[in-house]
Structure 1
């Protein structure tokens, strides 16, 4: 626990950028809670409202689900202590078709405003392989390389090698990953590797449970103890800038 608190405190102001409501909690809920408990600023950005995230579109047509997931995310973030949130306004499933230059410019503006010490998002693999996840990773990486201050860090959520065998059968039954995923990362390559203490893990589960349309069935199927263990670790690798920070023209970050 002490190590986790120390590691998270060193991250400073945290900006998380994700594709759908619940991505942020699954991949960084513990990190966000620990950061807020330590007095750090945490800002969350979500690209879409997840309006396609249901196996029952008749009961949950996109406008209804989008509205419900908006409310669920607000409750989730409140439980984690996060009060600053931004929507990018893209449609679920359509991020790969959106103009990348527009999305990157919008994220540059957020980075300019928040001035994060650490940005967290998906790696290029998108964790699950979801096209929206992979696209958001590309947007964030481009915006970070263009706009983040020297010394800022970009952390990609990762699946450590040690965890993949333990959960492989369950993940396959649940259909968590697209074929060929997850991409396992050797533990020694991890830049931040959090094993959540029981209180933080329980708080993360409460936050995820607030996103009822996405998690109620899983929690009922798995049982609370198994679900808590399943979400109880958060790991990240670090992106290295391919080029030094350069001064940008204002037009590059201003949306028309």
Structure 2
């Protein structure tokens, strides 16, 4: 992925904190390079955990809390304000494909991104919401791309060092061909993860990234085949 002039990036995920776990450093880096970054989340994650450490939150307050945590993270990165679709957590697979694809298409068409980044076929964790986002965002992108052939689609990809997580990844998700060095953005990403105080997973991942010194994020370009093409890093 060679980026030589200011571009527009759109990240589509299922829940607040998906963006930071997978792409927080990349987003911050892109903004610092002068690019425009948008983030769309399908739900507010109201079925997530109710706190971590000494922080606790009521179930009824969780959507508001997670929304604010996402806004805080994106403020740290300097992106555009988040786009919330407002669907119910853990129910995306129950929504008709026509509706969800249509909502994603509206967002993609309005923003007209040069690059769309979302989940790959397994959603990394096999979460049904992640997989629904993958299927419907990909389908919406294909419709958009039919009139905007210069736009590119990338999936979050995981290298072999994550084997301990026993992830059932698709071929494209196991073969990243874009590696983003986030050394300069690493502390910012960790701070954003730590700020997701409502979510135990976010705290676990912050600790994991720190202990393993994971100073990169990785992606695979979708090129219409089962395996990605080899592209340059940026």
The residue that corresponds to 2:198 in the other structure is: 213
The residue that corresponds to 2:46 in the other structure is: 51
SS at match of 1:46: strand
Query: CA–CA distance in 1 between the matches of 2:68 and 2:174?
Result: 39
The residue that corresponds to 1:240 in the other structure is: 223
RMSD, aligned α-carbons: 2.7
The residue that corresponds to 2:229 in the other structure is: none
The residue that corresponds to 1:21 in the other structure is: 16
Number of aligned residues: 218
Query: CA–CA distance in 1 between the matches of 2:132 and 2:6?
Result: 24
**Structure 1 residue runs of 4 or more that deviate by more than 4 Å after TM superposition:** 6-11, 184-188
Using structure 2 for the length normalisation, give the TM-score: 0.83
What's the offset of the Cα at 1:131? 0.6
Post-superposition CA distance 1:17-76 (Å, at most 9, x none): 0000000111111111111001111010000000111167xx644331111001111101
What's the offset of the Cα at 1:206? 1.2
The residue that corresponds to 1:97 in the other structure is: 94
Q: Identify unmatched segments of 5+ residues in structure 2.
A: 226-234
Query: CA–CA distance in 1 between the matches of 2:27 and 2:88?
Result: 25
Q: 1:105/1:187 Cα in 2 relative to 1: closer, same or farther (>3 Å)?
A: closer
Q: 1:133/1:193 Cα in 2 relative to 1: closer, same or farther (>3 Å)?
A: same
What's the offset of the Cα at 1:190? 2.3
Maintained 8 Å contact 1:8/1:34:
no
Q: 1:224/1:241 Cα in 2 relative to 1: closer, same or farther (>3 Å)?
A: closer
Post-superposition CA distance 1:70-123 (Å, at most 9, x none): 111110110011123211111110000011111111111111111100000000
SS at match of 2:61: helix
Q: Identify unmatched segments of 5+ residues in structure 1.
A: 1-5, 172-179, 243-256
Q: 1:116/1:219 Cα in 2 relative to 1: closer, same or farther (>3 Å)?
A: closer
Maintained 8 Å contact 1:194/1:233:
yes
Relative to its length, the structure with more helix (as a share) is: 1
Maintained 8 Å contact 2:121/2:170:
no
What's the offset of the Cα at 1:182? 4.1
Q: 1:11/1:145 Cα in 2 relative to 1: closer, same or farther (>3 Å)?
A: farther
Query: CA–CA distance in 1 between the matches of 2:220 and 2:108?
Result: 20
Q: 1:120/1:233 Cα in 2 relative to 1: closer, same or farther (>3 Å)?
A: same
Q: Which has the larger radius of gyration?
A: 1
SS at match of 1:76: helix
Alignment of 1:1-256 (within 5 A): 7=2, 12-54=7-49, 60-148=57-145, 149-161=148-160, 163-165=161-163, 168=164, 171=165, 181-183=167-169, 189-197=175-183, 199-214=184-199, 217-218=203-204, 222=207, 225-226=210-211, 229-230=213-214, 232-241=215-224
What's the offset of the Cα at 1:11? 8.3
Q: 1:68/1:146 Cα in 2 relative to 1: closer, same or farther (>3 Å)?
A: same
Post-superposition CA distance 1:209-240 (Å, at most 9, x none): 221112574379x488317x25x321111112
